[in-house]
Amino acid sequence: MIEELSIKDLGVIAEATLPLGPGFTAVTGETGAGKTMVVTALGLLLGERADAGTVREGQPQSWVEGRWLIDPESAAAERVRDAGGELDGPELILGRSVSVEGRSRAIVGGRSAPASVLGDLGADLVVVHGQSDQVRLRSAVAQREALDRFAGVELAACLATYQHAFHRWQANAAELDRLTREQDERAAEAAELRTAIAEVETVAPQSGEDTDLTERAERLSNLEELRLGAAQARELLSAEENPDDAPDAIAMLESARRHLERVAGHDPALPALTEAIANAGFVVSDIAAQLSSYLAGLDADGARELDIVQERRADLTALSRKFEGGIDEAIAFLDTGSARLLELDGDSDRLDRLKADTESDRVTVDELAGRLSSLRAEAAGALGEAVTAELSALAMPDAALVVQIDTRDELTAAGRDTVTIMLRPHAGAQPRSLARGASGGELSRVMLAIEVVINVSDPVPTFVFDEVDAGVGGAAAIEIGRRLARLAETAQVIVVTHLAQVAAFAGNHLSVVKDSDGAVTASSVRQLQGDERTAEMARLLSGLPDSASGLEHARELISLAHSS
């Protein structure tokens, strides 16, 4: 239930707060005062598309805020928490701003959220009926939805199961058709993959192998220079193999150590230097040994090894040219290509499974569609009788509602039924489709009667009606007001109306008041009671708030409504 609605700079409304609360609230006002902005504001809070044109002239943005009371354990409350919002006990705050640039911002439970969240919440919280919805009632989809709502939870559960099976069947059928059409193309792709995978497996590249081979090729290509350089270096460090040559580094270090050792006793600084020279000799001896090992390890048959390395590098180069990412991509291709090939090779089994699943789903969908048709047929008669009784009370005593169901072979997401709601205006007349024969006033009353009846099996917390009384007057308008009051016994009802006969039945009467200030019109909202309400009712009746006859008629209407 909406406790309060605040509006700022929306249309001609500068700033207004609407106290709503339970029961029946009527919103009235002069033409152009901005009554429909109340419905626009509610639409924004329910996720409707933002329109920069609704921002009040001269203002940077409009702002709408609604304070709801909801069950903290309800699905709507859970959706709020999923969006990151919070409730204050049972209280939920929803907000929406619209800038002159067309930007929109939604607030759900104190947190920013996409406008789609408002739309999801709105489906659980409010049903809005405007004049466009009367036109929509002429459509087959809206008529089927009305029948399905009336049929209740059993049909809703069956429809949910059906739609799940239907969408699975459609998806499998589409996949089966695609695989069948692409069979030759996929077979050719599989053959190409086999060839490419076999080529990579033949070369069997290793990660980083090309870098290693480049380094080996560089070494092998300069083998003699490496041998000569290493041998010369070793001879300079240790000339054990050529004792007739000049002294080497090791011998020179040893000689230096001995010279210092003879005189070290005369100066405390020399023993440390003597030890350092001895250590240097050990290091040079170790390096000479390493050079000897290096020389022993040089392959005498380097030319043959170089041929093998160059041949391997050629194989890797040829393979890398076929992959933009080189060797690493070729190695990765073994995994991705093999997985894709496995998928393609499984087409035959997959086709068989899809054929079996599609046929099974088709049978399931057929059975569920038959169940839906049966449930709709049962509900159609009951809906027709209940709405007919309501129409009788809405000053259409001779009218009857007939709900016709036509079953076709084609299956859709809603089954195979076409639902047509027809109105028989009086006894002896042929029922006519609402899409063809119903006037605006008749549509208003039929829509209201349907909502009153459906609310018994599919209750909604709040109903908003925007000029549901369009095209209606006199006794019919009084009956509309009476039925709205009846609906308000089990739900919150908010009605934008221009008829005193309807407003008289409201427990809460709000008036949108227009003040003119030069070229700018600013409107606000007042809650009417006592003489103010009587004067507004008189204005609705006669156009004059102080007409004696109008005031008397207004008092009579209010008295009639209270005694009903």
Q: Which residues contact 512 (CB under 8 A, 6 or more apart)?
A: 13, 16, 27, 28, 29, 30, 33, 34, 35, 37, 38, 523, 524, 525
Residue 518 has pLDDT above 60, yes or no: no
Name the 3-class secondary structure at 484: helix
Nearest to 28 by CA among 345, 501, 405: 501
Give 131's pLDDT tier (boundaries 50, 70, 90). low
pLDDT recorded at residue 373: 96
pLDDT recorded at residue 162: 97
Q: Are 382 and 150 within 8 A, CB to CB?
A: yes
* Total structural domains within the chain: 1
DSSP characters over 284-330: HHHHHHHHHHHHHHS-TTHHHHHHHHHHHHHHHHHHHTTSTTHHHHH
The residue type of 521 is T
Q: Is 196 part of a structural domain of the chain?
A: yes
Q: Is 420 part of a structural domain of the chain?
A: no
- Answer with the residue of higher pLDDT: 466 or 383: 383
Tell me which residue has tokens 């040559």: 245
Name the 3-class secondary structure at 403: strand
pLDDT recorded at residue 300: 59
- Please state which of the ranges 139-153, 436-450, 476-490, 547-561 shows the lowest mean pLDDT: 436-450
pLDDT in tens, 403-451: 999 999 899 999 999 999 898 888 878 888 876 666 767 777 788 888 8
Give 181's pLDDT tier (boundaries 50, 70, 90). confident
Q: Are 44 and 66 within 8 A, CB to CB?
A: no
β-strand 462-466 against 432-433: which pairing, if any? unpaired
pLDDT recorded at residue 244: 58
Residue 24 has pLDDT above 90, yes or no: yes
pLDDT in tens, 267-324: 888 889 989 988 988 998 899 888 888 877 776 556 677 778 778 888 788 888 888 7
Q: Is 456 part of a structural domain of the chain?
A: no
Q: How far apart are CA 455 and CA 10, in angstroms?
A: 32
Q: Which residues contact 328 (CB under 8 A, 6 or more apart)?
A: 207
Cα–Cα distances (Å) from 431 to 148, 390, 405, 422, 560, in that order, read 21, 17, 14, 6, 34
Q: Which residues contact 159 (CB under 8 A, 6 or more apart)?
A: 148, 372, 414, 415
Q: Is 197 part of a structural domain of the chain?
A: yes
Query: Among residues of the chain, what percentage have pLDDT more than 90?
Result: 27
- Domain range for 363 is 156-367
pLDDT recorded at residue 161: 96
End-to-end, the C-alpha distance of the chain in Å comes to: 25
pLDDT recorded at residue 544: 81
Q: Is 160 part of a structural domain of the chain?
A: yes
Q: How far apart are CA 322 and CA 325, in angstroms?
A: 9
The residue type of 342 is L
- The mean pLDDT value of the chain amounts to 84
Query: Among residues of the chain, what percentage have pLDDT more than 70?
Result: 91
Mean pLDDT within 527-548:
88
Give 23's pLDDT tier (boundaries 50, 70, 90). very high
pLDDT recorded at residue 171: 93
DSSP code for 137: T
pLDDT in tens, 446-483: 888 888 888 877 778 888 888 777 667 777 788 888 88
Q: Is 129 part of a structural domain of the chain?
A: no
pLDDT recorded at residue 451: 83
DSSP characters over 180-237: HHTHHHHHHHHHHHHHHHHHHHHH---TTHHHHHHHHHHHHHTHHHHHHHHHHHHHHH
Cα–Cα distances (Å) from 321 to 208, 255, 314, 329, 380, in that order, read 16, 61, 11, 11, 71
Residue 137 has pLDDT above 90, yes or no: no
Return the CA Rg of the chain: 45
Mean pLDDT within 140-162:
92
Q: How far apart are CA 438 and CA 143, in angstroms?
A: 14
Nearest to 135 by CA among 401, 439, 432, 390: 439
pLDDT in tens, 51-101: 898 898 889 999 999 999 998 988 889 988 988 999 989 999 999 999 999
Residue 134 has pLDDT above 60, yes or no: no
Give me the long-range contacts of 320-327 (CB less than 8 A, separation at least 24).
320/210, 322/196, 322/199, 326/210, 327/205, 327/207, 327/209, 327/210
pLDDT in tens, 245-263: 567 888 888 888 888 888 8
pLDDT recorded at residue 135: 53
Q: Is 353 part of a structural domain of the chain?
A: yes
Q: How far apart are CA 13 and CA 514, in angstroms?
A: 9
Q: Is 346 part of a structural domain of the chain?
A: yes
- Show the tokens assigned to 31: 């033409």
